[in-house]
Structure 1
Amino acid sequence: MKKSFLTLVSSTFLLAAGIVSAQAADAIVAAPPEAPANGVQICDAFGTGYFYIPGSETCMKIGGRIAVTAGYDSFLDAGYSSVEARMDVDTKSDSELGTIGTKIRLSSQGNLDAYTLGGVPNREEGVELAYITVGPAFAGYKESLINKDILYGDSLDLETYLGSLNTTTIGFLADNLGGGFYAGLAVENRDRDNGLETAVYRDGNAPDIAGRFGIAGQSWGGADFSALYSTETDDYLLKATADLKAFDKADFRLTAGYGDTDNAGDYYILAAAGKYAFTDKVSAFTGVSYLHGDAIEDVWTANLGASYALATNFDVKGEAYYTDWKSDDTVGTKLTFVRSW
């Protein structure tokens, strides 16, 4: 098992290293920082918000958000309120290998999707993301490579059913293959959502393999295909997602997924969702999904919601949802104020 795991990691690392080497010559070159006359020196080579760390050639960006939510869930027959907070610290710098980056996210790690299925999410503050990037290669604790999107809004994505998919991983995601195409491959720890705890690979915890391929930035939108395979149990998940632009103000999302597990047999999910921007500040969305499997009764989930920009980077979102998960008709509402920076 150890030899198998090392082979998987080595292959992924060598493939990523080859891509990094091929792209190093085209790396973005940040101009050396000039001595600031007053305060921080802006670094615009890597996008908006970056500044030079004083005394170095490394650029940093600090961001985050606070979300305050109140809602009602009929399965619990109770109202609830919740506060989610997160802070992101990103760094980037040039090197002979290309652009080297890091990301750290401190977060309350709350997932209010759990209310959609009649449960209460755990609330533990800690490190949600911590990883290194070298060109398209990455290593550390981060989101799974697979596409999690299902509906718009906060009612349903893959993590609603599977829990957090964040994991210790190594892999690559190359997004400049030409014509908008991108592709990625990663080795992921199947014992997920353990933060920065040491990942031990042995019988009972062989790694997962994740892959993703797609196209983005087209006039019609984009589409991708992602897959997750467990080398421990032979479980797998295949998922196709299309984000389509019907016209300037309307977007649609179509999702189809199929999987197989030892303990629950095979299952599939189908979903369709749409959103419309009435103005630059007001938008609305709706969607419906259907889940069926050998060990899962037919499950329908639907939502309807809207978002309004009260000010720059300050939004209010309202959403109503329905599901018959656990054989009970469940409805809920939530109102969320989000301040991001």
Structure 2
Amino acid sequence: MNIKSLLLGSAAALAVVSGAQAADAIVAAEPEPMEYVRVCDAFGTGYFYIPGTETCLKIGGYVRTQIAYDEDYNGTADWNPLTRGYLTFAAKSDTEYGALSGYINLETNDNGDTHLDGAWINIAGFDVGYFYNWWDDGLSGETDSIGSSNTLTNAIRYTYDGGTFQVGAAVDELRGSTLGYSNDGQATNDDVGVSGLLGFTLGGVTAQIIGSYDFNVEEAAFRALLTAELGPGTFGLAGVYSTDPNYFYDTAEWTVAAEYKIQATDKFFITPAAQYFGDVQTLDAIGNNSGDFDGGVDAWRVGVTAGYQITEGLRTLATVNYTEADEEDNVLTGSEDNRWTGFLRLQRDF
């Protein structure tokens, strides 16, 4: 074998080996990373796309633990610890009518009570479903009593919000009402109520007027609410007039409440408040609400609420209130003529 043949054979062998190695070196392309959660920023922070859809979902809520003090209606002191878990779900998507929203709120307390605390649909200014009505709004502190205990209802509501000006109308089912009775003595709580709202926001001033009519007892209630940025804090003023006890307001014939929320630091605020009640609803002989304002009992209340943001998502709130009435046997102080209430709360929001 000569040198030329040897060189040609070696070159051929190297070509075969190189080709084989080149064939073995084929590497499959790496799969693109899957995007399990896509952030949806069209409706604010915290939303993400439900996989495979264009619907955005937000999950939130809180864990709350508190201890409350209450001199109950027979004047004995009662300390009540409470722990609560609360979940909120909000689903939103764009449509030709604007944003279509759905909300579900679930509440669970340490006594085993788990219930639906709201479920409704919102589109084009309409709310339809089970939600809190306008009487659930109030001043920022924990002293005032200017709303109803029956604010969570099945309802249909329309609200026009022009930014500066708001107007709305609502029809509520009067579920759970203890006012108004049929001939057989059973509460007729399947009637309806209607409400109207006028409001405006201008600079640091916000005002709202609500008028509601209870067809069950054929009585009406009206409320005006004003908040204004003033100095280092926010001043709040509210007034209520009720023709007689009804679904929307049954504490007193009229009342005026005022507060001043002082934002002492970025994390700490304190809110002193006071309220006067004219012609408070009385209790009957067996301690139930009498259903009228004929007792001629007036009352007043003073209190203070303080809150501190410990860290992001964790805050504490405390309040103490004192109420005094002209006479006992009324819905504010029970069988005594005065009453102390308050609580200390720790809450983790998410």
TM-score normalized with structure 2 length: 0.74
Cα displacement string for residues 217-255 of structure 1 (whole angstroms, at most 9, x for unaligned residues)? x323200101111123221110000011113x3001100
CA RMSD of aligned residues (A): 2.6
Q: Which amino acid aligns with 2:132?
A: E
Check 1:139–1:243 CA distance in 2 against 1; reply closer, same or farther (3 A cut): same
Q: Does structure 2 conserve the Cα–Cα contact (< 8 Å) formed by 1:255 and 1:272?
A: yes
Aligned-residue sequence identity (percent) comes to 25
Residue equivalent to 2:65: 68
Q: Which of 226, 229, 243 in structure 1 is aligned with 2:210? A: 226
Secondary structure at the counterpart of residue 242 of structure 1: strand
User: What is the aligned partner in structure 1 of residue 21 from structure 2?
Assistant: none
Does 2:230 align with 1:242? no
CA contact (8 A) 1:145 1:186 kept: no
Superimposed CA distance per residue, residues 5-24 of structure 1 (whole angstroms, 9 cap, x where no aligned partner)? xxxxxxxxxxxxxxxxxxxx
CA deviation after TM superposition for structure 1 residue 315, in Å = 0.4
1:276 to 257, 262, 271: 262
Q: Which amino acid aligns with 1:210?
A: S
The residue aligned with 1:24 is: none
- Structure number, greater radius of gyration: 2
What are the superposed Cα offsets for residues 305-328 of structure 1, whole Å, 9 maximum, x if unpaired? 211111002101121111132342
Query: What CA distance in whole angstroms lies between the structure 2 residues aligned with 1:148 and 1:98?
Result: 26
Q: CA deviation at 1:301?
A: 1.8
Offset at residue 73 of structure 1 (A): 2.4
The letter of the residue matching 2:217 is T
The correspondence of residues 133-282 of structure 1 with structure 2, limited to 5 A, is 133-146=122-135, 148-150=137-139, 152-159=140-147, 162-175=148-161, 177-178=162-163, 180-192=164-176, 205-216=190-201, 218-247=202-231, 249-261=232-244, 267-282=253-268
> Structure 1 residues 128 and 269 mapped into 2: Cα distance closer, same or farther (>3 Å)?
same
CA contact (8 A) 1:146 1:227 kept: no
Aligned partner of 2:55 in structure 1 is 58
| CA distance in structure 1 between the aligned counterparts of 2:210 and 2:109, rounded to whole angstroms | 24
Partner of 2:294: 295
- Compute the displacement of 1:256 (Å): 0.7
| Cα distance change, pair 204–86 in 1 and its aligned pair in 2 (3 A) | closer
In structure 2, the CA distance between the partners of 1:41 and 1:209, relative to structure 1 (3 Å rule), is same
Encode CA deviations 1:124-174: one digit per residue, 9 max, x unaligned.
321010000112111000011346314x33343445xx4231100012112
How far does the alpha carbon of each residue in 1:190-214 deviate from its partner, in whole angstroms, 9 at most, with x for none? 1248xxxxxxxx9763210011110
After superposition, residues 38-57 of structure 1 pair within 5 angstroms as 38-57=35-54
Check the 8 A contact 1:308/1:315 in 2, yes or no: yes
- What's the counterpart of residue 103 of structure 1? 103
**What is the rounded CA distance, in whole Å, between the counterparts of 2:102 and 2:252 in structure 1?**
38
Check whether the contact 1:301–1:323 (CA below 8 A) recurs between aligned residues: yes
How far apart in 2 are the matches of 1:280 and 1:137? Answer: 36
Gaps in structure 2 of 5+ consecutive residues: 1-31, 178-186, 280-292, 325-332
Structure 1 ranges of 4+ moved more than 4 A:
262-266
1:283 and 1:129 map into 2 onto residues whose CA distance is 29
The answer for the alignment partner of 1:332 in structure 2 is: 341
In 2, Cα distance between the equivalents of 1:335 and 1:222?
Answer: 29
Could you tell me whether the CA contact under 8 Å between 1:146 and 1:212 is conserved in 2? Answer: no
Query: What TM-score do the two structures reach when normalised by structure 1?
Result: 0.76
* Counterpart position of 1:91: 91
Task: Give the deviation of 1:295 after TM superposition.
Answer: 3.1
- May I ask how many residue pairs the two structures share in their alignment? 281
1:4 matched to which residue of 2? Answer: none
